[in-house]
Structure 1
Amino acid sequence: MQDILVVEDDPQLGPALRRGLTAEGYRVELVRDGNTGLERALAGDHALIVLDIMLPGLNGYRVCAALRSAGLRTPVLMLTAKDGEYDEAEGLDTGADDYLVKPFSSVVLLARLRALLRRGTTATAGRSVLRAGDLWVDLTLHRAGRGPVEFALTPKEFAILTCLARTPDHPVSKEEILAEVWDPAYTGGTAIVEVYISALRKKVDAPFAAHSIETVRGYGYRLTARELPR
């Protein structure tokens, strides 16, 4: 389960975000002012920060700038009621990774969050290993394995496993895998993803009697974070 810090002072939107994200399987911490948000972001180990701009105490721009100055690379999705291009530019210039104008739909918010989490710029930035249960993916060395056993993966297989491991326990669509792993010039359909997933399962699941790569019917795949029994 991934941790998300929500810094939002609106008495209706803040709790609504917490309920919605919790329902999607995230663990959510909600704070209502910029000073506390900065303190919790620096002290915690969050996968992502949802940050309002207009906050009591420090505003979102100053919070984000302070986080980046401190070397924290956790992805930041900035929320604001402002929709001018200069407001967006200022938010991005202070180090935000994405920008969402109120009001917004929960569908768009969740899609933006998933995209940021898939980029791999998480609260563990600086550490190059993604983990899902006893399965690990070393992004620096381009190695992956389960416990002490290392897999022999092709570059495509490694890229697909990385794509799934960035958001363990959350589904990734075939289209998203195709867009991230294959060259933009590729014009084939998503059936090629199914072929590679089948090959990947034979290496990361079958030898261990595991079922960590789950099919999400009509959508794509999910990498579960369950530990194998010892």
Structure 2
Amino acid sequence: FRAGDIDTGYLSRHDPQTLAESLHHPDAVYVHAIAAAVAGQAKRRAEATVLTTVPTGWRNVPNGPQFATFSADGVELVVRYELTGTALSAEVGGTPLGDLVLRAAAPDRVDIEMSGVRRTITVHMVDNVCYVASALGSSTLVEMPRFPDPESRNAPGSLLAPMPGTVVRIAVETGEQVAAGTPVVVLEAMKMEHTVAAPHDGTVGEIDVAVGQAVDNGTVLAVVEKSG
């Protein structure tokens, strides 16, 4: 391609997906991950409507670094970083990066100096996907949610405890047909009873607690399998 030895059938003979793969420096994804994390912080600051001059994650008594988690080609990268003035301390995937100086940070561009080499890194965010490019190459990083949705980790129809409490009554049996709104489990919390009801018509597939059992917020109490 660089030699100009191509014709109009070039793309039909080569997979465009393969052509788009980056030929970058082996450390590029680490540098790009920290740039994506810093750009994300700058984006949140730009969108803030209150306390706009306070850095993201500021604490009057610092208790740990900021962090963000990305997926790069199926590999999870946890970025941890602390910024003091322009001095940036960071590690990616448990690997400490060299001496870093953050010259400037914006939602779409990060100016960073690493081991005496200054680089401008562009960041384009589309939802939770970060397209990052620099002289080192390009990377596509998918930012993972900091707090995964508990629903995604449980079986469909799972009934979760809305707060810590104690099970005082189980109103159904496994295999019983129930209608939407039917009480399934009753919890006692803060001297009040809280009824957890079936979210839809269906069959009680399982009951995961017993009367007298203490449960935490988010504990699966039962599963109601949806009819049909």
Higher-strand-fraction structure: 2
TM bucket, shorter chain? under 0.3
Higher-helix-fraction structure: 1
> TM (normalized to structure 2)?
0.23
> TM (normalized to structure 1)?
0.23
